[in-house]
Each structure stands twice: as C-alpha cells, then as structure tokens.
Amino acid sequence: MLAARAFSLIGKRAISTSICVRAHGHAGVVKAEDFSLPAYVDRRDVPLPEVAFVRDLSAQQKALKEKEKASWTALSVDEKVELYRIKFNESYAEMNRGTNEWKTVLGGVLFFLGVTGLILLWQKHFMYGPVPHTFSDEWLSAQTKRMLDMRVNPVEGISSQWDFEKNEWKK
Amino acid sequence: MSSALLPKPQMRRLLARRMKFHLFGAFFVSVGCAALYKFGVAEPRKRAYAEFYKNYDPMKDFEAMRAAGVFESAPPK
C-alpha cells in the first residue's frame, strides 16, 4: 500500500507492478516442499524427533490432544498409548528389532561359493592341462629321500620325523 | 501393558563400567595370548633345539650325508 503511493509520485507505470504484487497475495514466496521441512525420523540417536509422527489428526485424536492438556492421571492406559503412537512411529524396541537378513546373506554367500566350486571343477576337467611331471609319486618319493639325505630341517621339521636307524618314519 | 513399574535402569557411569570391563578383558586376553604362545610355541622350540644339540656330532652327521651322496665336493668313499 505504502509502496503503491510512493511509486505514484514517480510514475503511473510503477503502480501496475505493485497492484500485480497485491493481486498475487504473497508472490515471491514458494510453497515449502515436504523435504525442506523438519521431518520425523526413527533413529536411536534422535530420541525426540523434530515433529510428531502423525501430522493430520482425526477428530478423535484432536479431542484426545485437548484431554492431554488437563491432568494426565485422568488418561486411561489406552489413551496414553494412543498419544504415544501419535507422537512416535516405532518404539525403541520395535526400531532396534533384529531381522532375518543374516540368513539371506549367509545363504547367498554359500550359494556363490558353491557356484565357484563348480566353475573350478569344470576348469580342472575341461581347461587345465596335466600337472608337471615333478608331482608324480616317483619324483616326490625321490625328492623326499634327497631331503632326508641332506638332513633338511633336522630339529623340528621333516628330518626330525624320520628314524635314520630303522629307516622309517617315526611313530 | 501392566500397571506395575519396571525397575529403573542403570542411568549413570555406563561408559565407566564398559571401559572397566574392556580394559580388564583386553589386559587378560593379551597376557593370555602371550602366555599361550610362550608355553605352547617358544618353550617347546627351545627345548627341541637344546635336545637336538645336546648329543650332536657334526662329523658323524657329515659322514652320513656324504655316504648318501648329496655332496658334489665330497663324494662317498
């Protein structure tokens, strides 16, 4: 209003813009989106969220809220629970409850380990060639004999398990 | 929901109690691990070496190895 009168001193054309502003009411102010307003959240480290859980109360709930303004000893147990549920979504016990997710995770892990095992079997059968000749039984026994002849690891290792007098493995 | 009151939970010194428990636990677990290693691994190993070298004759060992033919510079007799 004041702006309109002030602009009329400068020029007629300014009035039209101020009239437009008044016609729109509060143009220039955008409607607040839900995500920009304080939100309710069920979190262990937020015991009292910024807003109550139930935003739009029914007539019954509104009546209960009025009753809450009087002495609380007049409230029944069910009414107290209803007031709690208006304010909070889940109790701490409900919020912290465990799930059965671990079964799914374990099952998935074991399943894919099994798939990997099948892949390895297929590879061994169809893809890989023979192992080197140094893995044959004859070579391995000759190799072990040579290790014992050289007294490899005589204190705690392989040569300590061989009985050199009787020429056999120690019992 | 019963009308009987629940017992009041512990409100204070929660961290102190947890810290005491874990400090004791950590001390005993680490000392236990050290003791287990000492008496399970270190002492038997020291004894094994002592036993081995108590009556060890290097020349006899050498002759046995030479007889087996593992030396290039010392062929069997």
d(CA A52, CA A42): 11
Reported ipTM: 0.77
What's the number of CA atoms in the CB half-sphere (13 Å) around residue A25? 3
Say yes or no to pLDDT of A62 above 90.
yes
How is A118-134 classified by DSSP, letter by letter? HHHHHHHHHT--PPPGG
Q: A77–B48: do the CB atoms touch at under 8 Å?
A: no
Percent of chain A with pLDDT over 90: 78
| Helical packing angle, A77-87 and A59-68, nearest 10° | 110
Q: Where are the beta strands (DSSP E) in A84-164?
A: 162-163
A50 touches chain B (CB under 8 A): no
Closest CA–CA distance from residue A61 to any residue of chain B (Å): 21
d(CA A85, CA A91): 9
Residues of B in contact with A81 (CB under 8 A): 1
Closest CA–CA distance from residue A57 to any residue of chain B (Å): 24
d(CA A14, CA A108): 71
* Chain B interface, Cβ < 8 Å to A: 1, 3, 45, 48-49, 52, 61, 64-65, 68-70
Which range is least confidently modeled, A79-88, A159-168, B3-12? B3-12
Q: Residue A31 — pLDDT band, cuts 50, 70, 90?
A: confident
Q: Residue A29 — pLDDT band, cuts 50, 70, 90?
A: confident
Say yes or no to pLDDT of A35 above 80.
yes
Q: Residue A170 — pLDDT band, cuts 50, 70, 90?
A: very high
Of A62 and A3, the one with more pLDDT? A62
- For residue A103, which phi and psi values (nearest 5 degrees)? -65, -45
A77 touches chain B (CB under 8 A): yes
pLDDT score recorded for residue A126? 97
Percent of chain B with pLDDT over 70: 96
pLDDT score recorded for residue A21? 47
pLDDT (mean) for A151-170 = 95
pTM: 0.62
Query: For B45, which of A146, A149, A156 is closest by C-beta distance?
Result: A156
Q: List A residues 144-163 in contact with B (Cβ-Cβ < 8 A).
A: 146, 149-151, 154-156, 160
Percent of chain A with pLDDT over 70: 84
Which range is least confidently modeled, A27-36, A67-76, A143-152, B29-38? A27-36
Q: A155–B64: do the CB atoms touch at under 8 Å?
A: no
d(CA A158, CA A162): 7
pLDDT score recorded for residue A6? 54
The set of residues, in sequence order, having a beta carbon less than 8 Å from that of A164 and lying 6+ positions away, is: A148, B64
